[in-house]
A = this chain, B = another copy of it.
Amino acid sequence: MKNCVEVQDKLHEECGVFGIYSMSGESVSKDIYYGLEALQHRGQEAAGMALSDFKGGMYNMAIKKDIGLVSEVFHEDDLEHLKGNIGVGHVRYSTTGESNAHNAQPIGMNYIKGTLAVVHNGNIVNTDALKVEQMKRGSAHYTTSDTEVIAYEIIKERVNSKDIEEATVKACKKLRGGYALLVKSPRKLIGARDPLGIKPLILGKRDDTYILASESAAVKAVGGEIVRDIEPGEIVTITKDGIETVSRLQSSTKAHCIFEYIYFARNDSVMDGISVNDARVSAGEALAKVKKVDADIVVGVPDSGLAAAWGYSKESNIPFAMAFYKNSYIGRSFIKPTQNERQMAVQMKLSVLENVVRDKNIVLIDDSIVRGTTMRKLVDMLKAAGAKEVHVRISSPPFLYPCFYGTDVPTAGQLIASEHSTEEVRENIGADSLEYLRVEDFKAMVGDLPLCTACFTNDYPIK
């Protein structure tokens, strides 16, 4: 079992999804491979793909999924064996301590109408209620994932529906929560996004091939062009006749997840029309206005704090500097760290360029503070390297409330901000000052885009 030396002081999301339909019938397994690699940052615990193959007059489903990175799960001969022109893929981050191959996606099954494969990013808050109903009807569950619950809703509705699209629409109407959902039937690829638009889903195209993915970067990675975001509540189907919107689930509000812009998404992705990088730069600019500080350089924590640091520098006219080296080989290791080594882990991953920071007053930017251990170590390292003052600026507000839509926020007791005042946190991390981005400055990040900010404000979009 692999043990991770990496700094476990970041929030995590649970998944990335990728679906593709080649209308000219070309094999898509390599595209899914590259698409999932482009989404690897969204989940490193498990990966999988399922494809439809038409062979001997029958539609067959090929599926492979396992624990590990995309490059570990799929070898070259796998991609040759995984045949088909329609497919869905998934990368997963596990919220549980122990890895579990059973919970890897896609969920692939046979039911009365043929085969079905489902992948899903998000969290369905009424999973337990739906699952009990399903069990009462006699369902058997092989996993603990809510994706299986979604799949069961779809096959239940399929019986009284004219097609798989109608069944998916009926199923989605029962789901409460945030989701980006892909459904592969033998001859169709369906995509659905929750009515609030909490989870992202984007449509791309490459010649006669359609792509649905969690992020625009995955579309680009396979040589595709962005067509548009799937709208909140929209359900689309891709068939041999092209793409069609089959339903638009209504919702009085929209509430895109703020975390995607803060740090889930790749910096080069564009979500709901907003460039993630621009949002982060804007957050840095807004942060520069929060409280002026007299400093020599602005330093971002790689890689998550770099964009905001650049924005802060631009707004404040304090020079931007790169003060850390990041060792990209560290992170996945078989060596179990002792407590002392765990404290050294930050230091092995990141090291300070002493000449850059010596005798300097520094503004240090990161996107969040979760437990505070990483930031404390970084401030220590900067001071040990000769920095005079370290002013920490966080490009998001303090996390205070749990997320019910798929983000793995630690329990309140583990969130330093939920138990301590800002001044206490500042003292704990050893900073000379500490400021967070204010909730009201969010609009600087994403303009008028409606956001879910429940984890900062306790104001949940779904009651």
- A290 at the B interface (CB under 8 A): no
Main secondary structure of the interface of A (DSSP, over half): mixed
Instruction: Count how many chain A residues have C-beta atoms less than 8 Å from C-beta atoms of the other chain.
Output: 80
- A318 at the B interface (CB under 8 A): no
A314 CA / B313 CA spacing, docked (Å): 14
Mark A57-74 against chain B: 1 for CB-CB distance below 8 A, else 0: 000000100000111001
* Residues of chain B lying within 8 A (CB to CB) of residue A152: 138, 140
- A237 at the B interface (CB under 8 A): no
- A348 at the B interface (CB under 8 A): yes
Question: Does B268 lie within 8 Å of A351, measured CB to CB?
Answer: yes
- A333 at the B interface (CB under 8 A): yes
For this chain, the copies found in one complex come to 4
Which residue on B lies nearest to A66, using beta carbons? Answer: B101
* Residues of chain B lying within 8 A (CB to CB) of residue A322: 306-307, 310
Q: Name the contact of A335 in the complex, choosing from B30, B335, B341 (C-beta under 8 A).
A: B30
Question: Does B352 lie within 8 Å of A268, measured CB to CB?
Answer: yes
Question: Does B30 lie within 8 Å of A341, measured CB to CB?
Answer: yes
Mark A69-97 against chain B: 1 for CB-CB distance below 8 A, else 0: 11100111001000000000000000000
The stretch of A35-43, A178-186, A243-251, A402-410 that contacts the partner chain: A35-43
* Residues of chain B lying within 8 A (CB to CB) of residue A328: 328
Q: Which residues of A contact B (CB under 8 A)?
A: 3, 30, 33-34, 37-38, 40-41, 44, 63, 69-71, 74-76, 79, 102, 108-112, 116, 132, 135-142, 144, 151-152, 155-156, 159, 217, 220-221, 223, 266-268, 270, 275, 277-278, 303, 306-307, 310, 314, 319-322, 325-330, 332-336, 341, 344, 347-348, 351-356
Q: List 7 A-B contacts (CB under 8 A).
A: A37-B330, A111-B138, A111-B141, A138-B152, A140-B140, A275-B353, A277-B325
